[in-house]
Amino acid sequence: DEKEKFEPTVFRDTIVQGLNEAGNDLEAIAKFLDAAGSRLDYRRYADTLFDILVAGSMLAPGGTRIDDNDKTKMTSHCVFFADEDHDAIRNYAQV
């Protein structure tokens, strides 16, 4: 039996790149996440996925982002960067 490597940073890079390529269209983001779900292990990397969708990058214990201000490791298509509007937050929640 071979064990799969646990590589959350590779997963993060793949998700962030796809979100950034999808642009500001939440419909395109939802389609990307749906299509990527067939080849990426969302269950295994659920914490990382949640961090990205809420905070825009992976979080370290204590809540600080692990991106070293590298724009390729973070996305602005997340809840923290959404407009402070009930409808905008609801749309992100639906994604």
Residue 1 lies in a domain: no
What residue numbers bound the domain in which 66 lies?
8-93
pLDDT at 3 over 80: no
Q: Which residue has the higher pLDDT, 1 or 17?
A: 17
C-alpha triplet 5, 68, 26: angle, nearest 5°: 75
pTM of this structure: 0.85
pLDDT at 23 over 90: no
In 3-state terms, the chain is what percent helix, strand and coil (to 5)?
A: 55, 0, 45
24-47: per-residue pLDDT in tens?
A: 889 999 999 999 998 998 999 999
pLDDT at 6: 85
Count of domains forming the chain: 1
Residue 2 lies in a domain: no
Arithmetic mean of pLDDT over the chain = 89
Residue 3 lies in a domain: no
C-alpha triplet 51, 52, 54: angle, nearest 5°: 65
* Region 45-69 average pLDDT: 89
